[in-house]
Structure formats: structure tokens, C-alpha cells
């Protein structure tokens, strides 16, 4: 008997099916077929043991064994081993073995012990909620962190002090929770009770329920009743009834809430909760976790809110998925939708720069790296789940922390053994956006080793929910381990109470989301989609072409026709490596094609010390005013204004290298030096500089070359090639078929850069006749050297 059960690897797998099949809810959607499958496999296993029984014998035997087996398992299931959320009994066993063996795991384990020593020695505090980022907020976070640690420690050591800690704290919460109304600092449509928003409360429950699960068996049933009836069930009710619109929402808040409700369902053996979590409060798959897995990710694993928020959402996705895997293995959650969780995880890592920083499109705080705790957990779980993928180890090493999970053990073990850890294999890639992959996308080009990698990003996704920015076709440029042409990110000092309670600052919406805050074109000083969420959310940019196969000529191209009623925007970005260059250059061709006269503004938010500009500028050195009145312009001081005289060029110094932008221009091009900071009385915004090109007309082409050059080392006082090598950049022609640009450089061959604007199949031959000269190329793009 035992042998057969082991053949199926885990009695609990079966148990969860059984258990589900005997309780209410949506179980029958899945359970029946699974049980049938099991029965068949089991029967076959039995068949293979005994040879040649008679037909009747066989039938009777099968029935007897099956019935017996069924009852044995049923009785096992009532005593289903806990924990079974992030860790199961096997993980606990591996943790017991790991302690004292692998330094990184030891460190995590000892941290937990020390944290609990301190917590056990200190007075327990479950304060009445008050603030949105101050003591009570932090204390409730601390409390669940301590409970989670105590839960694991209890499982590993079986010392009752840990279980008692959780029980007592939960009883305090059970006493407090029923007395609470909506949080006094609540400011959104989704308030919490313990926290100012229900999001934080979901996070609290996702954590706390793990602790409860760990010590469930130890807590006297009367106390369990108190805790469940006064705390967990009311909280789940608060979520699933009062805020069902959140739980059903296709948004990371919904995922956190699904995880909270679903895991509570597993812990309380309440399949109704589980079903609501999986399929939405109406259990019709119009909400809940599976729907979120369907709709929040593109087929490539791109998370609709972008890199910064998948960093956050990856935690409820993985925590709940792991819990599902432990409780409902039949769901094969990690294989769901062609392995969408795995894609999401690896895509998330690719959406970091080599420093670990998440590429800060949409609302994003730049201090966030892949060392965020959510990513550490996801990595540990992934490492174990995805067969100890060694490519994850360099990131695990940078994280330098593991979690108290089975995956944490595996990672720590590998890091203590593996000597030469390969760098994470960052690559160029394009990701489609939209649940079905048809809503634009995101292109990332890279060149160079992780030590000094150039990266260019173009964003042509959909809006990306409430944290999306109005920045179609925006462009980011990294080099030397830092942003060189930057995205502002979001204006927020997370959890910093004196800064608007640690919430998003008003300047996020008023400035950081607006188009002019980005390295993309603003038309007529109005943001894309008039800066209106409802319009933008319905639209997206479009992929045109992307190719990174030739490392010396990588290219991405996208269009957007919906940001403005009568302007078609098309941006094509080339990353060009040439033996004559010390570093690759970026060629950035931004074509705006309007039907009437417009003003087109393209900023370059450079990051570093301004060195030189070739435009004669009128500097407002003695009196400074904002660049405009609205749509983000009111936050930009106009430092200087000038009219281009041929090519516009400016250079800055950043780190050990110079950078220049050289852009085709003429006397119709206005140049502004701007700086963030006007209309910002609370100094909420960073005083970052920008150079803005303004062109007027029906159509325009911004043709720029972005060029790293030279070397600066203040320690040894060396400066080389502080000036750009580009002497001219000229748009020879640009039409619906293609754009042809000439780049001239001092003491180097000129380049004729030819790109397709229309069809760009690799075998299509393009011919453009410009002033009697024929320019031709095949496929997407070509550079001809003169």
C-alpha cells in the first residue's frame, strides 16, 4: 500500500483532491477527472504487481483495494500534515538538515531566531491603527514578519514559545479586529482596517495565515475558533464581500487579495474561500487568481503594470502558487497557461539592468532592485521549482539573502558549493503586451558584458493600469551601470511619513506621469491621450519590427497612432556597434506625421554634469520661469532658450565617460535647457536637467545619435575625447517607405543610415531616390559607410 502511495509521490496531493471533492464550492470543476485519472493509474499500478489474475478476481480486487485505499486516505486527510503553504513537511525536514551547513541559510535562520528572541523579550503590541506610514503601520508589518518567523521556527524546533507567541498575538488581533472601522488614514476606494489600504491588509493576511498554518495543530481548538471567527473569517468577508471589486480586479491588488483569501481557505479547510480566490467571488472565473494569470500577463510573461510592479506582484503570485501547488497539485498551477509563472519570473529578471535595478517605466521607485524581498522569495521558490537553474545563482549571490524555504536551502547550498558562478544571461528581447499579445510591447537592446552594459529600452505597450504613464514610444538609455537618459519614475518616498504619508505624491500624477516628463514626443504641450486614463487604458502603441540577431546592428521600431487624434508617431532605435567605435552608439529616429500644424517637443533627460552645448542660448540667469502652464510643463524651469544653427549637440559627463546627443536641426528648431523643480514648493521632485528640442510644422523627424565617448578619471586626472566626434547629422529624406539619415564624424567614414518605415520583412528591397541619388537597402535597416 505504502509503495503505491509513494509512487504518486505525495499522499497530500491526493488528499487535497479528496478533501476538495467532499466539501462545497467549485470543486467539481476539477476534482472528478483528477480522481478518475488517479484511480486508473492506481489500478494500472496494481495490475503491474500481480500477474495474470482472472477477470473477475481482478475486478473484485480492484474494488476492494480501491475502497480500502479511499478510506485510509480519507482518514489521513483529516490529519493532513501542516505546514502546507510556502513550505511543506519535506521543506521543514530539509531546513532541519541545512541548519549549520550553508552560511547563507544559517544567516537567515539565525536572523529569524534573533528577531524572535527580541520579539519574545519585548512587550507584544497590537496597536490601534492610526497612521499610513508611521509607527502603527510599521508595527503591524513587524508583527506579521515576526509571526512568520515564529511559525517556521516552531516547525523546525517544536519549541512552544514560538507557537505561543503566534497564538497570543492572533488572539490580540482577534480582540482588536472586530472593534475596527475603516482605517483613519484611509484615502482610497479600497481602505483597510488594520492598514490605510486593503492592499497592506491582504499582505498582512498572506503572511499571517502562513504562521497560523504552522502552529494550527498546537493552538487549542477554542482559541482557533476565536481567531478564525473574530479575525480571519471577518477579514476574508471584508475582502470578499465589501471589497469583492478588488478581489475580482485584474490588478496586483487583486492578486494579493486572492492570495490572502485563498491561503486562508487552505488553512481553514474552507474550499469556498479557495474557490473565490481562484475563480473570483462569483466563482465564475471572471475574477480571482486564474483570471489574473490569464489577463495580467502577456503570452511572453510581460506584466501589464511593468517591471516595477511585477517586482511587487511576483510575491502573491508565487506565494499563492506555491500554496496551491502544496494543497491542490491537481491544478498544476506552475504549468498553467503554458508555464506563465515561469515566464513572468524570468521576464521580471530580464527587466532589470545589470545593477539589479528595475527598468523604471511607469510608476517606479529607482531604489528597487532584484534584492527586494519579493524577488528573493520568488527566486528561491523558482530555483527549487525550475530544477536548480544555475543561471539564477549570480542574482542569488547579489541578493545575499535566502528565505526560510526549501528553495532557500537549495540556493544556499548551491552558493556554498558552486565556485564559478556565471553572470546572469541578460539579453536583448522584445515582449508583447496584452493578454493575447496584441497590445504593443516593449523592446530592450543590450550590448556588452554585465560589467559595463549598454541598454536601450523603448516602450510601446498598453497603458498598464493605474500606475501607467502617458509615455508611448519613450526611450531609456543605460550605460556604465547607470541611467544616462533617464525616466523620472514616480514621485514617492515610500513609507516616509512626512512626505504625504509615504504615499504617491501628487507630483506623480501632475508631473511624472505626464508625457513631457519622458524622453518621448509631446504634441502641442498636451500629454498622450490628453493624459486621460480611461482613454489611454483602451489604447496601446504597436510593434513594428524588432531584430537583435546581428549584435552589431540591433534595431527596434514601433508606432503609435492613438496618442493624438491626427498625429502618427513612429520611433526606430538602432544600437550600432562598429569596430571604429570604442562603444556602440544609438541612432534614434523619431518621426511625427501630423495632419495639421503642431508643436513637437522631444526632451532628453540626461543624467550627469552638463559639459557643452553647441547652440547659442539665451540663458535666464537672473529670472527664471516655468516652461509652460500645464500637463507637466509647469514643473520645468526654463533655464535657457536658443535656436539651433544646424545640428544641435550637447554633451554631459557621467561616471568615467562622456555622452553626447547630436540631433538633426535647423533654424526652425528651438532648444530649451530645462530643469525639474518649478511649482514644487515642498521640494518633492529631484532637480534633474533636460534638453528639449522643439520643432513646429505638420510633420517632423527627430534624428539623433547618442554617443558615449572618451574617458574621464579624476583620480589620475585623465580626460580624453571630451567632445563628440559627430560633426553633422542630416535627414536626407523621410517618407512612408523609409528614413535616410547621414551622420558625419570627424576623422571617420560617414554613415548613411537607412531604415524602413513601412513593411520591413528581411527580404524586401527598399529603394529611395533622393535628389537624384538612389539609396537602397534590404530589410529593416542598413548602414552604408562612405
Question: If binding is defined by CB under 8 A, does position 612 make contact with a second copy?
Answer: yes
Q: Grid coordinates standing for 199?
A: 492592499
d(CA 306, CA 415): 30
As given in the structure block, the three cell numbers for residue 527 are 500629454
* Closer residue to a second copy, CB minimum distance, 434 or 689: 689
C-beta closer to a second copy: residue 215 or 653: 653
CB atoms within 10 A of CB 769: 10
Output 314 or 548, the one with its CB closest to a second copy: 314
CA atoms within a 13 Å half-sphere pointing along the CA-CB vector of 747: 5
Residue 686 engages a second copy in binding (rule: CB under 8 A): yes
Least Cα distance to 212 among 167, 153, 168, 173 occurs for: 167
CA 304 to the chain's CA centroid: 9
State the nearest-atom distance from the C-beta of 628 to a second copy, in Å. Answer: 11
Catalytic, out of 13, 183, 463, 467: 467
Selected range binding a second copy among 340-348, 466-474, 578-586, 607-615, rule: CB under 8 A: 607-615
Rounded to the nearest angstrom, the gap between the alpha carbon of residue 745 and the centroid of all alpha carbons in its chain is 40
Burial of residue 441 (number of CB atoms within 10 Å: 0-12, 13-18, 19+): buried
Q: Could you say which residues in the range 128-147 bind a second copy, by CB under 8 A? A: 133, 138
Site for a second copy in 309-368 (CB under 8 A): 365, 367-368
Q: Smaller CB distance to a second copy: residue 118 or 175? A: 118
C-alpha cell at 457: 529600452
Q: Is 679 in the site for a second copy (CB under 8 A)?
A: yes
Of 42, 173, 212, 309, the active-site residue reads 309
Minimum CB distance to a second copy smaller for 107 or for 679: 679
Closest approach of Cβ 678 to a second copy, in Å? 6
Q: Which of residues 492-551 bind a second copy (CB under 8 A)?
A: 493-499, 502
- E strand spans, 376-453: 429-432, 441-447
Distances (CA, A) of 720 to 79, 642, 717: 73, 28, 10
Ordered DSSP codes for 473-516: TEEEEEETTEEEE------B-TT-TTTGGGSB-HHIIIIITSGG
Q: At 170, is the secondary structure helix, strand, or coil?
A: helix
When the beta carbons of 30 and 493 are compared against a second copy, the nearer one is 493
Minimum CB separation of residue 465 from a second copy in Å reads: 20
The CA distance from 736 to 725, in Å, is 30
**Shortest gap between Cβ of 470 and a second copy (angstroms)?**
23
Give yes or no for residue 369 binding a second copy (CB under 8 A): yes
Segment near a second copy (CB under 8 A); pick from 86-94, 255-263, 264-272, 670-678: 670-678
Distance of alpha carbon 465 from alpha carbon 363, whole angstroms: 10
253 near a second copy, judged by CB under 8 A: no
CB of 457 to a second copy, least distance (A): 22
Evaluated on CA atoms 287, 289, 290, 295, the torsion sign reads positive
- Neighbouring residues of 61: CB distance < 8 A, sequence distance ≥ 6: 46, 50, 53
Closest CB to a second copy among 262 and 608?
608
* Contact call for residue 265 and a second copy (CB under 8 A): no
Query: Closer to a second copy at the Cβ: 219 or 364?
Result: 364
E strands, 315-440, are 429-432
Least distance (Å) between residue 720 CB and a second copy: 7
The stretch near a second copy (CB under 8 A) out of 70-78, 100-108, 370-378, 405-413 is 370-378
Contact flag: residue 692 with a second copy (CB under 8 A): no
Q: How far is the CB of 712 from a second copy (least distance, A)?
A: 7
Question: Min. distance of Cβ 135 from a second copy in angstroms?
Answer: 8
For the CB of residue 717, give the shortest distance to a second copy in the complex, in Å. 5
Minimum separation from the CB atom of position 438 to a second copy (A): 35
| Helix pair angle (252-268, 271-279), 10° resolution | 160
Q: Which is nearer to a second copy, 440 or 608 (CB)?
A: 608
> Which is nearer to a second copy, 432 or 638 (by Cβ)?
638
Q: Is 689 in the site for a second copy (CB under 8 A)?
A: yes
* Member of 355, 723, 735, 784 binding a second copy (CB under 8 A): 723
Number of residues that bind a second copy (CB under 8 A): 56
State the nearest-atom distance from the C-beta of 132 to a second copy, in Å. Answer: 11
Nearer to a second copy, 183 or 492 (CB): 492
220 touching a second copy, by CB under 8 A:
no
Interaction between residue 625 and a second copy (CB under 8 A): yes
Query: Would you tell me how many other CB atoms lie within 10 Å of the CB of residue 65?
Result: 15
Q: Cβ-count burial of 715 within 10 angstroms (0-12 exposed, 13-18 middle, 19+ buried)?
A: exposed
Q: Which stretch binds a second copy (CB under 8 A): 108-116, 280-288, 417-425, 684-692?
A: 684-692
Backbone angles phi, psi at 491, to 5 degrees: -95, 100
Q: Which phi and psi angles does 468 have, rounded to 5°?
A: -75, 155
Q: Which of residues 703-722 bind a second copy (CB under 8 A)?
A: 712, 714-720, 722
Closest approach of a second copy to the CB of residue 453, in Å: 22
309 is annotated as an active-site residue: yes
For a second copy, the binding residue among 419, 681, 772, 786 (CB under 8 A) is: 681
Residue 687 touching a second copy (CB under 8 A): yes
What is the Cα–Cα distance from 440 to 300, expressed in whole angstroms? 12
- Interacting residues of 564 by C-beta distance below 8 A, sequence separation 6+: 523, 526, 528, 594, 598
Q: Which is nearer to a second copy, 55 or 714 (CB)?
A: 714
Near a second copy by CB under 8 A: residue from 467, 675, 694, 742: 675
Contacts with 523 (C-beta within 8 Å, 6 or more apart), sequence order:
563, 564, 567, 592, 594, 598, 599, 600, 601
For residue 371, state whether it binds a second copy (rule: CB under 8 A): yes
Beta strands in 655-688 (DSSP E): 657-663, 670-676
SS3 397: helix
Query: Which of 236, 227, 120 shows the shortest CA–CA distance to 167?
Result: 227
Q: Rounded to whole angstroms, how far apart are CA atoms 357 and 367?
A: 7
What is the spatial distance between Cα 253 and Cα 190, in angstroms, rounded to a whole number? 10
Round to whole Å and give the CA distance between 269 and 263. 9
Residue of 653, 703, 740, 753 interacting with a second copy (CB under 8 A): 653
Q: Is 379 in the site for a second copy (CB under 8 A)?
A: no
DSSP states of 729-740 as a string? Answer: EEEEEE-SSEEE
- Residue 23's SS3 state is coil
Does 672 help bind a second copy (rule: CB under 8 A)?
A: no
678 near a second copy, rule: CB under 8 A: yes
Among 61, 73, 176, 611, binds a second copy (CB under 8 A): 611
Residues making contact with a second copy (CB under 8 A)? 133, 138, 365, 367-369, 371-373, 493-499, 502, 609-612, 617, 619, 621-626, 637, 639-640, 651, 653, 673, 675, 677-683, 686-687, 689, 712, 714-720, 722-723
> Residues with catalytic annotation?
309, 467
Amino acid at each position: 500500500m505504502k509503495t503505491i502511495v509513494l509512487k504518486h509521490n505525495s499522499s497530500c496531493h491526493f488528499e487535497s483532491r479528496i478533501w476538495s471533492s467532499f466539501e462545497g464550492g467549485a470543486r467539481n470543476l476539477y476534482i472528478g477527472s483528477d480522481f478518475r485519472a488517479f484511480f486508473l493509474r492506481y489500478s494500472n499500478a496494481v495490475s503491474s504487481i500481480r500477474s495474470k489474475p482472472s477477470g473477475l478476481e481482478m475486478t473484485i480486487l480492484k474494488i476492494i483495494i480501491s475502497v480500502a485505499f479511499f478510506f485510509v486516505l480519507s482518514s489521513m486527510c483529516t490529519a493532513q500534515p501542516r505546514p502546507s503553504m510556502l513550505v511543506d513537511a519535506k521543506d521543514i525536514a530539509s531546513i532541519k538538515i541545512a541548519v549549520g551547513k550553508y552560511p547563507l541559510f544559517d544567516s537567515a535562520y539565525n536572523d529569524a531566531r534573533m528577531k524572535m528572541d527580541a520579539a519574545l523579550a519585548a512587550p507584544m503590541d497590537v496597536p490601534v491603527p492610526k497612521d499610513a506610514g508611521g509607527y502603527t503601520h510599521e508595527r503591524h508589518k513587524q508583527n506579521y514578519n515576526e509571526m512568520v518567523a515564529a511559525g517556521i521556527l516552531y516547525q523546525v524546533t517544536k519549541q512552544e514559545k514560538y507557537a505561543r507567541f503566534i497564538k497570543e498575538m492572533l488572539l490580540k488581533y482577534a480582540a482588536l479586529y472586530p472593534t475596527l472601522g475603516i482605517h483613519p488614514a484611509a484615502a482610497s476606494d479600497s481602505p483597510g482596517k488594520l492598514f490605510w489600504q486593503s492592499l497592506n491588509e491582504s499582505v498582512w493576511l498572506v503572511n499571517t495565515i502562513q504562521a497560523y498554518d504552522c502552529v494550527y495543530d498546537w493552538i487549542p481548538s477554542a482559541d482557533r475558533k476565536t481567531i478564525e471567527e473574530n479575525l480571519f473569517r471577518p477579514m476574508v468577508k471584508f475582502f470578499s464581500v465589501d471589497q469583492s471589486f478588488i478581489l475580482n480586479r485584474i490588478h496586483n491588488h487583486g492578486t494579493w487579495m486572492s492570495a490572502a483569501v485563498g491561503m486562508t481557505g487552505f488553512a481553514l479547510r474552507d474550499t469556498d474561500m479557495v474557490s473565490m480566490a481562484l475563480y473570483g467571488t462569483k466563482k465564475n472565473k471572471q475574477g480571482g487568481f486564474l483570471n489574473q494569470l490569464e489577463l495580467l500577463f502577456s503570452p511572453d510573461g510581460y506584466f501589464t503594470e511593468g517591471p516595477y510592479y511585477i517586482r511587487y506582484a511576483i510575491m502573491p503570485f508565487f506565494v499563492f502558487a506555491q500554496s496551491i501547488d502544496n494543497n491542490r497539485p491537481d491544478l498544476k498551477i506552475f504549468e498553467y497557461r503554458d508555464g506563465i509563472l515561469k515566464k513572468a519570473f524570468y521576464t521580471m529578471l530580464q527587466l532589470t539592468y545589470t545593477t539589479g535595478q528595475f527598468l523604471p517605466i511607469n510608476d517606479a521607485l529607482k531604489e528597487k532592485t532584484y534584492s527586494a524581498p519579493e524577488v528573493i522569495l520568488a527566486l528561491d521558490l523558482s530555483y527549487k521549482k525550475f530544477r536548480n537553474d544555475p543561471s539564477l545563482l549570480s542574482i542569488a549571490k547579489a541578493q545575499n539573502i535566502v528565505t526560510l524555504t526549501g528553495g532557500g536551502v537549495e540556493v544556499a547550498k548551491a552558493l556554498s558549493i558552486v565556485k564559478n558562478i556565471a553572470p546572469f544571461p541578460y539579453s536583448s528581447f522584445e515582449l508583447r503586451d496584452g493578454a493575447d499579445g496584441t497590445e504593443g510591447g516593449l523592446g530592450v537592446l543590450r550590448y556588452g558584458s554585465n560589467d559595463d552594459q549598454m541598454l536601450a529600452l523603448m516602450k510601446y505597450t498598453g497603458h498598464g493600469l493605474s500606475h501607467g504613464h502617458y509615455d508611448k514610444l519613450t526611450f531609456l538609455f543605460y550605460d556604465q551601470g547607470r541611467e544616462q537618459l533617464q525616466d523620472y519614475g514616480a514621485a514617492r518616498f515610500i513609507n516616509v511619513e512626512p512626505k504625504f504619508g509615504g504615499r504617491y505624491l501628487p507630483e506623480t500624477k501632475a508631473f511624472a506621469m505626464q508625457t513631457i516628463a519622458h524622453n518621448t514626443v509631446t504634441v502641442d504641450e498636451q500629454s498622450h491621450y490628453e493624459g486621460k486614463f480611461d482613454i489611454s487604458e483602451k489604447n496601446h502603441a504597436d510593434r513594428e519590427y524588432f531584430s537583435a540577431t546581428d549584435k552589431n546592428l540591433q534595431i527596434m521600431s514601433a508606432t503609435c497612432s492613438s496618442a493624438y487624434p491626427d498625429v502618427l508617431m513612429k520611433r526606430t532605435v538602432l544600437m550600432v556597434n562598429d569596430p571604429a567605435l570604442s562603444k556602440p552608439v544609438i541612432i534614434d529616429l523619431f518621426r511625427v506625421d501630423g495632419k495639421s500644424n503642431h508643436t513637437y517637443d522631444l526632451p532628453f533627460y540626461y543624467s550627469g554634469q552638463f559639459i557643452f552645448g553647441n547652440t547659442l542660448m539665451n540663458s535666464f540667469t537672473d529670472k527664471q520661469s516655468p516652461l509652460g502652464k500645464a500637463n507637466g510643463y509647469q514643473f520645468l524651469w526654463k533655464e535657457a532658450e536658443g535656436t539651433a544653427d544646424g545640428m544641435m549637440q550637447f554633451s554631459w559627463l557621467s561616471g568615467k565617460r562622456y555622452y553626447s546627443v547630436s540631433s538633426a536641426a535647423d533654424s526652425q528648431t528651438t532648444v530649451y535647457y530645462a530643469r525639474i523643480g518649478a511649482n514644487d514648493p515642498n521640494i518633492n521632485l529631484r532637480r534633474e536637467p533636460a534638453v528639449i528640442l522643439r520643432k513646429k510644422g505638420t510633420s517632423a523627424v527627430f534624428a539623433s545619435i547618442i554617443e558615449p565617448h572618451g574617458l574621464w578619471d579624476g583620480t589620475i586626472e585623465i580626460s580624453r575625447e571630451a567632445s563628440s566626434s559627430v560633426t553633422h547629422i542630416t535627414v536626407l529624406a523621410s517618407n512612408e517607405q523609409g528614413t535616410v539619415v547621414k551622420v558625419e564624424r570627424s576623422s571617420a567614414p560617414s554613415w548613411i543610415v537607412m531604415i524602413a518605415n513601412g513593411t520591413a520583412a528581411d527580404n524586401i528591397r527598399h529603394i529611395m531616390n533622393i535628389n537624384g541619388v538612389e539609396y537602397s537597402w534590404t530589410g529593416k535597416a542598413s548602414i552604408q559607410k562612405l
